[in-house]
Amino acid sequence: MSAELKSSSWERLREDFPVTKKFSYLANAAISPIPRQVQNAVARFYKDNMIYGGTRWQKWIDLIEEARRMYADFIGARSEEIAFTHSTSEGMNIIAHMLAHRGHAISNDLEFPSSNLPWINRGADMTIVPSLNGMVPIERIRKAIRRRTRTIITSHVQYSTGFKQDLETLSKICGEENLYLVVNATQSIGALNFDVDKFGVGFTVANGHKWLLSSFGIGTLYVQSKLLDDESGLNPPFFSQFGQEDREHFDNMKIRMSKNASKFELSTPHFPNIIALKAAIAYISKINILRIEERIRYLTQYLIDRLAELKIQILSPLSNIHRSAIIVFKSRSPEHLVAYLGKKRIIVSARGGGIRVSPHFYNDESDIDKLISALKTYQA
């Protein structure tokens, strides 16, 4: 393992996260604490609003368009393919509205409810593929494809097992079968490199309060540009003044929908949340997402090695291709153990029949060592 991954530059970044002074915070798959830079950006916005009110409107609009460009860049997309939503669920509901009636959809039984329920709620014709040992084998998805199938829904990383789906292979199948690929990337964007072009996805949703280190109430929806044209007929379930073609010169009798993904935004922007995301993307990009991915890999490997020394069974898939930032290990009484660790200021989650540990780059070996020492003294 390269010295860079242990180096003092990571320790300096740790200083940006005051949470580390109080906790061994290993629950970034649930909620990430924000770094100082994000808190500062949001505070600046509110100060601006307090002193200048709406006279700052154009400046805020410019900031949002800059945020859109930065986020698009971050996931290999184009600005016009990005909409700011409020949550993963909002994005998935919009997609389900557009696709649920277009044909059979395939998902799986590991998904977080936000991936499946919007489709079930719309009465979609769906096949739920059963998982196998915490994974969703692509072969099972392929076998579920019918003539009437139009959509495949999957998380990039599963919240309860950490299984990372092989999106490149899946998108190849979608290309061959002419299917929409809908990806819930909530548990990967911000922790792992996510590239919409490389992965060949049609739709992607995520939120800001997990690995993206930003705010509650900010989500993102990516829609591939070729799915945005008039012919696709993919429009939101709502009308939004902000989603009109010419926002400044709108007509109050005629709908002229924007050709950009901004048509999926429900009116006046939630400026502070988008500004939080912008600051977080700037912060993460400065570090570099590939370095972050490597650092997380180093920390999760450190954890895996320590757990192996204690002979604790790991439930997450550990092969290179399916590994993520989430490691779940077995526990006979996960809730009890989470509470025990919480009293020692070690923050983890009970998920997938065990304990979910989800370190971000600002964590270090000492956080994991504290968890391991606590496990040594724990009696179920």
Ligand X SMILES: Cc1ncc(COP(=O)(O)O)c(C=O)c1O
> Residue 112 interacts with ligand X (CB under 6 A)?
yes
Chain residues 211-270 in contact with ligand X, contact rule CB under 6 A = 219
Q: Please, what is the minimum distance in Å from the beta carbon of residue 186 to ligand X?
A: 4
> Residue 119 interacts with ligand X (CB under 6 A)?
no
Q: Given the complex with ligand X, which of 315 and 374 has the nearer CB atom?
A: 315
CA angle 246, 99, 253 (to 5 degrees): 30
Q: How far apart are CA 358 and CA 287, in angstroms?
A: 19
Q: Given the complex with ligand X, which of 278 and 351 has the nearer CB atom?
A: 351
Choose which of 60, 159, 283, 302 interacts with ligand X (CB under 6 A): 159
Choose which of 93, 207, 214, 363 interacts with ligand X (CB under 6 A): 207
> Residue 114 interacts with ligand X (CB under 6 A)?
yes
Q: Given the complex with ligand X, which of 96 and 375 has the nearer CB atom?
A: 96
Choose which of 24, 116, 154, 155 interacts with ligand X (CB under 6 A): 155
Helix axes 36-52, 271-287, angle to 10 degrees: 150
Q: Given the complex with ligand X, which of 88 and 262 has the nearer CB atom?
A: 88
* Contact map string, positions 11 to 40, toward ligand X, x by CB under 6 A: ------------------------------
> Residue 107 interacts with ligand X (CB under 6 A)?
no
Chain residues 349-368 in contact with ligand X, contact rule CB under 6 A = none
Q: Please, what is the minimum distance in Å from the beta carbon of residue 100 to ligand X?
A: 18
C-beta of residue 349 within 8 angstroms of C-beta of residue 338:
yes
Chain residues 170-189 in contact with ligand X, contact rule CB under 6 A = 184, 186-187
Nearest 5°: phi and psi at 84?
A: -90, 120
> Residue 88 interacts with ligand X (CB under 6 A)?
yes
Choose which of 28, 32, 87, 215 interacts with ligand X (CB under 6 A): 87
Q: Please, what is the minimum distance in Å from the beta carbon of residue 114 to ligand X?
A: 4
> Residue 273 interacts with ligand X (CB under 6 A)?
no
Q: Please, what is the minimum distance in Å from the beta carbon of residue 249 to ligand X?
A: 34
Q: List residues binding ligand X (CB under 6 A).
A: 87-89, 112, 114, 155, 159, 184, 186-187, 207, 219
